[in-house]
Structure 1
């Protein structure tokens, strides 16, 4: 009897800082088969050696120094890779294909990266504006009929009518960040529809994971009554998620598994007692095609026991999918 496929989504808030705080220990303890990372925020040549353990990394760092960066970690090098920029980096596992300290098949050493050409045939309308930001990478698993994507959606900002000087942490921007986020969401919806259908036509399920910077339901925000005019919980943002998910398109796997309960949250501010008092938001998702969603047997958030043990301001969302004998 085969073991479930363990899949995690994790905004690490900088892989170098996450390594110092215990990312490698989490990876070894949970032993996932697939991990989608967001906010890796590290040049390829500065990714800590061995930080991804026995997993192969497909990394799209983007072109904005110190920001963004998404990756998908897999046990085997993926069968195919696609990014909006048309480029990504393959970082082989610590073990390499033949054991410890074995060079990769392309001559690279474990921890080094080799450049990949990874274009989509065409980009959905509006996506090219964000192609160099390191916000999306998509891979076809080599050992399962499954396409996995890692996404980091912009945080955004408040619409101009809600911007009140003196009541904002940032200076008013006339709604520029809010409008940019809405444009990104509109383009992303078209892209996700294309990728989901392309996976279906290739006989694959589709799984979109990542930090959407939007909480969908009142169950997803601890203090939701005070958050209706906060970025990430605006009606227009929540309604957009309504259009993204559905019984025939994509399923919010964690919410389906846990039911209509408060939380579990996946992000807490570093400030004050937010983490200690579990005053959080659920903004990290597994959005799966219905066939894949039906195989989920366990789902949860790996919230650390204490503030001092936190690896990131996010916690990983982990789902076990019991695919049985479902292989390519």
Structure 2
């Protein structure tokens, strides 16, 4: 049964020091999608590139110490693709795709708009170009799982303090409506919610205050999938026994 993990590392070197690669060894995952590498190719050690015999493919941002995505696969992919064809965001290292047999697995790191109005505008631009790409992807007719940090909490259940965040990036009406279009118009599936429709599961906690200790979190990391593979999901968990990042790994098991 394929196990697919999504993990925003908030720096691959930092996550390594906190034991992320030791943890990987115990997970028996088929694919591990990582985001926010904050590293360039020159920073990548052999352990980062191919831990425990995995095959790694990575998309590095041009800006040092910023963004970046990757996919580790147990078997060597038939094909790999870096970037999705939009120069602005491909320069930020936001998209890594691997094809293994009939399955496509993608690691995506959608922009955050919380740092400035300019970055929020960039986030809206990303949403505008990424939706047509997802339509093209679905039209390929393959089974697809897009894992990553989408930087949007879709519904009220997806963050603790939803009332006070309705005007904040990550829970804006436009962002939430965009996520709804993925599911209602494109027919993609929020896999977590298939398996655990009512669970108040969060995947990110602010470093401010006591957010982690009080579990004042947001669910902004997702597996978004085509209906066929989504229907085979049967177990979901958010790993919180150790902290590798300000995000927690999202683990979903799919039946063969």
Residue correspondence of structure 1 range 214-229 to structure 2 within 5 A? 214-229=152-167
1:8 aligns with 2:5: yes
| Structure 2 residues without counterparts, runs of 5 or longer | none
Q: Deviations over 1:252-285 (max 9, x none)?
A: 0001111123x21000112321111111000000
Give the structure 2 partner of residue 296 of structure 1: 233
Equivalent residue, structure 1, for 2:81: 82
- Determine if the alignment matches structure 1 residue 246 to structure 2 residue 191: no
Contact 1:16 1:48 in 2 (8 A): no
CA distance in structure 1 between the partners assigned to 2:249 and 2:218 by the alignment? 13
Q: Secondary structure at the match of 1:30?
A: coil
Deviations 1:197-253 (A, max 9, x none): 12x0xxx20111110100001010011111111110011100000011138621000
Give 1:1-328 correspondences, 5 Å limit.
4-51=1-48, 52-84=51-83, 123=85, 127-141=86-100, 144-157=101-114, 175-198=117-140, 200=141, 204-246=142-184, 249-261=187-199, 263-304=200-241, 309-323=242-256
Deviation per CA, 1:148-172, whole angstroms, max 9, x where unpaired? 1110011014xxxxxxxxxxxx6xx
Contact kept, 8 Å, 1:247 with 1:290, in 2: the verdict is no
> Do the aligned residues in 1 keep the contact of 2:38 with 2:65 (CA within 8 Å)?
yes
Q: Which has the larger radius of gyration?
A: 1
Greater percentage in helix: 2
Between structures 1 and 2, the one with greater strand share: 2
Distance in 2, matches of 1:46 and 1:146, equals: 30
SS in 2 for 1:193: helix
CA distance in 1, matches of 2:217, 2:112: 16
8 Å CA contact 1:9, 1:210 repeated in 2 = yes
Unaligned ranges ≥5, structure 1: 85-119, 158-169, 324-328
Corresponding pairs, count: 254
What is the Cα-based RMSD across aligned positions, in Å? 1.5
Given that 1:11 and 1:315 are in contact with CA atoms closer than 8 Å, whether structure 2 keeps it comes out as yes
State the TM-score, normalized to the length of structure 1.
Answer: 0.74
